[in-house]
Amino acid sequence: MQGGMLVFRGSIVALVTPFRNNAVDEKALQDLVEWHIGEGTHGFVPTGTTGESPTLSHAEHDRVIELVIEAVAGRRPVIAGTGSNATDEAIRLTRHAERAGADGALIVTPYYNKPTQEGLFRHFEAIHDATDIPILIYNIPGRSVIDMTPATMARLAALPRIVGVKDASADITRPLATSAACGDDFCQLTGEDGTVVGFLAHGGQGCISVTANVAPALCAQMHEAWREGRCADALAIHRRLFALHTALFVETNPAPAKHALGVLGRCTDEVRLPLVKVSPDCAARIDAAMRSAGLIN
C-alpha cells in the first residue's frame, strides 16, 4: 500500500489507545480497528497525539503499532506515529514501524526544543536517510511551539520519501501556500476537523481526524461525497458534525474522545496522567453534540 497522494486520503482516524487498569487494552484496540473498517474509515494513525504517545512506554508504543497493523491486515493504510523531540529516538521508532509493516510514518516537529527551520530540516532529513518508509510531516504549532514554514517543507519535499504533511496549523490558507511551494503531488491532510471541507476545497486530500474516532461512518461519508463532487452533501455532514468537532476539544484531546467512546461502549474513558477524565460539564456538552449528530438517542 505504500505511496503518497493516492493512498493517504479521505477519513484517516487518529486512533485512541484504549486503556484498562492503566494497561493497553489490546482487545479493545483491535476491536476498534474492525469497527472502523466496517464503518468505512479510509486509514489509521496509531500512536499519535490522540493515541497518547507521550505516555506510552517504548514497548507499548511498538506493541500498539504492531496490533493495529495486524488487525488492519492490509485492508487500509496504516501511518504510524513515530515522532520524538530527539532525532535518534524518532529514527528508532520509525525503523520499528517500517519493520512492523506500516505504510507510512507520521513524524511530529520536535516539541520543547524549539529548533530553527534549519534544525527542522536536518531532523527530518536524518530520519529520512536512516529509513525507507514514506514520511508525513506533522506540523502542529499549538503543541510543539514551532511552525514549519512552507519554504522548509519544500526543501523536505524534494527528498524522495517525504510525501506530505498533516497540517494542524488551523490556517485555512496554508494548503494553498504549501502546494505552491511543494507542488500538487505533495499529500496534504488536515489535522483540524473543524477546517476539513475548507481544507479540501483548497486542495487537501483528507483529514487525520479525532472526530472519526466517534463518528467514523459520517466522517468517511463526508470525504466520499467530496471526492464524488457532491460538495453540498459533504458540507451538510460537516455541519452536522460541527458541534462534535468543537466538543471534542473543550478539554484536552483525547479525554473527550475517550468519554464519547465510553458512551458508545467501545472502550473505557481512561486516560493517563497528566491527562484526566473530562469534567461533568464537558461530558454533558459531548453527549449533547453526539445526540445532535444522531450518534446516540
Identify whether 138 is a catalytic site residue.
yes
In sequence order, which residues have a C-beta less than 8 Å from that of residue 143 and are 6 or more positions away? 49, 108, 111, 168
Catalytic residue (choose from 27, 112, 114, 166): 166
Helix (H, G, I), strand (E, B) or coil at 273: coil
- 124 — phi, psi (to 5°)? -70, -35
Maximum distance among all Cα pairs of the chain, rounded to whole angstroms? 52
Rounded distance between C-alpha atoms, residue 144 and residue 166, angstroms: 14
Cell numbers of 184, please? 500538487
**How would you classify the pairing of strands 23-24 and 19-20?**
antiparallel
Catalytic residue (choose from 112, 138, 258, 277): 138
Rounded distance between C-alpha atoms, residue 68 and residue 29, angstroms: 7
Residue 162's nearest CA partner among 110, 107, 96, 116 is 107
Rounded distance between C-alpha atoms, residue 184 and residue 72, angstroms: 29
In sequence order, which residues have a C-beta less than 8 Å from that of residue 92 and are 6 or more positions away? none
Helices (H), 101-215: 117-130, 141-144, 150-157, 174-182, 196-201
* Amino acid letter for position 221: Q
Q: Are the C-beta atoms of 216 and 41 separated by less than 8 Å?
A: yes
Cell numbers of 268, please? 473505557
Q: Are the C-beta atoms of 39 and 210 separated by less than 8 Å?
A: no
Q: What is the dihedral of CA 258, 48, 176, 237, to 10 degrees?
A: -20
Identify whether 277 is a catalytic site residue.
no
Active site residues: 138, 166
